[in-house]
A and B are shown apart, each in its own frame.
Chain A
């Protein structure tokens, strides 16, 4: 890749897009001072406010503007009323399935006023790094080429597994990346900067499933929250945590030894500054008219699914077993290295006790000749994008660029050959 090109890096997560633009001068300044710029983070969704939602104030004085039918990207973050908002997410089960929605969101991410700021004429000469999950169906593989080259017209692009970037972002050459994201959880062994695709394992539990399960539970037991995705998500993020000994703690909660906490549901007639509600603090006064949501065993039962999917009837091993199965399918000579370098990334790592629980569960599974060492990244959701920035700055081999010329001459088949072909010959 020519270092003089502007590069746009996008970590296209199921819930959130992380994006950065690096011009040639940015690359130089990162090289000199090593400071990685904070990426732009926006929801990867189109949102439709409820019919009776409070409208945002008109953005320009004197200009009456029809409220937009769909909010895109950053607009969702600043929307005043998220109640009853419905989302249209381009990513379904971890892969892009609504390409027109994805195009519109990227448009907003690239735009000057709401995004990283790259003009259409600059795009023609820019490089693009985008994350693409392992095991992508061929249909999506081809559609991605179409979107990047036909709809946007980038000069070249590198679809890269986010786990490869995360390994770079964590500064490891050889490691297992456990990426527990919004759509699913994967464990991918990375050896010398490249992943071993045939040893990767995928568990069908992600943040979205947890949120939906919490919603189902709350709706069944207390309040009807079917439409309140953002509130349920906030409850999950603020109150749920991973129990270190689940059965014991569960029994204790039954006796009323308490982890019970109350959550004040939002009430927009009272305050518009609290759109998703808040945890009831100790000593906070209530006048009895607030809607209170009592969270008891749900606090530990929801994230427990990550470690024991069989609790909801999903016949797969938990996170520890995902790592175990991934490493055990690797050649024996790299296993010791892999067990010593387990990198935990993805939004679910933000649950309290995540790392401790992985340690506790993994140790008894793994042969005692190996040391087990896990590291939790400082900001687990940004590991992949930071790795992407590093890869661009260091002009790393881990990014395989394919150019528009190849696409216009040979189409998607040519791209496929460039991306996977040479590996095919060596085995």
Chain B
């Protein structure tokens, strides 16, 4: 966040002129590709579970990450809840040994964890069997109808376009709200 960086107490005096210049540059740079980028980022954000943000917050707090080995191990189907193995595990951990039973259980399945986007990007398409379709071949092409435009503030039909970021708005009132909140002043 440039605003935060520039706003630190000690630098303020010195960097006021610099700040003006930086902000001006940023505002100048909002062109069509930046708008496109912001839109894609927003669409991508709509696919998020809350989990990503949650994890970030957790890490900041210094709490441990989700570790299925200890709790869910008891929940394995058919496994009895008793304290013996846990004690054994504790002792082993104290001695710095690995719990081989736990390792066997994990079978390293978490090594396969990978975001779908990444897996799709990394994929070598020529290595796929012929009869196995790839995601890229399944994409629906754009609509034949012209796009409709709706006000980013209130959701109704929007005849006007923000001069700075190409977002649509319907009235002066909505435009004011838009400029105060969503307008792409500091993105890029």
A residues bordering B, Cβ < 8 Å? 46, 48, 68-70, 72, 86-89, 92-95, 97-101, 103-104, 107-108, 110-112, 115, 118-121, 123, 134-140, 142-143, 146-147, 150-151, 186, 197-198, 200-203, 208-209, 212-213, 216-217, 220-221, 226-227, 229, 247, 250-251, 254, 297-298, 301, 308-318, 321-322, 325, 416-417, 420-421, 423-424
Contact = CB atoms under 8 A, between A and B. Distances in A.
* Most interface-central of B119, B128, B147, B153 (chain A CB within 10 A): B119
B119 A314 contact: no
Contacts of B39: 313
A378 to B, nearest CB: 27
B129 to A, nearest CB: 4
B183 to A, nearest CB: 13
A423 B131 contact: yes
Interface in B48-104: 48-51, 54, 66, 68, 71-72, 75-78
Contact of B138 (A98, A118, A119, A135): A135
B140 A322 contact: yes
Interface string B130-158: 11111101111111110110100111110
Contacts of A120: 76-78
B131 A254 contact: no
Give 6 nearest A-B pairs by CB, closest first. Answer: A143-B112, A420-B129, A423-B131, A197-B133, A93-B116, A100-B110
B140 A301 contact: no
Given A250-B156, A313-B43, A118 B77 contact: yes
B113 to A, nearest CB: 5
Task: Summarize B's interface: helix, strand, loop or mixed.
Answer: loop
Contacts of A134: 133, 138
B172 interface: no
B77 A138 contact: no
Contact of A311 (B78, B148, B154): B148
A311 B3 CA distance: 31
A163 B167 CA distance: 38
A420 B54 CA distance: 40
Contact of B107 (A115, A146, A297): A146
B46 interface: yes
B11 interface: no
Nearest to B142: A315
Given A87-B51, A212-B46, A309-B143, 4 more contacts: A70-B66, A86-B54, A139-B122, A221-B154
A251 B155 CA distance: 11
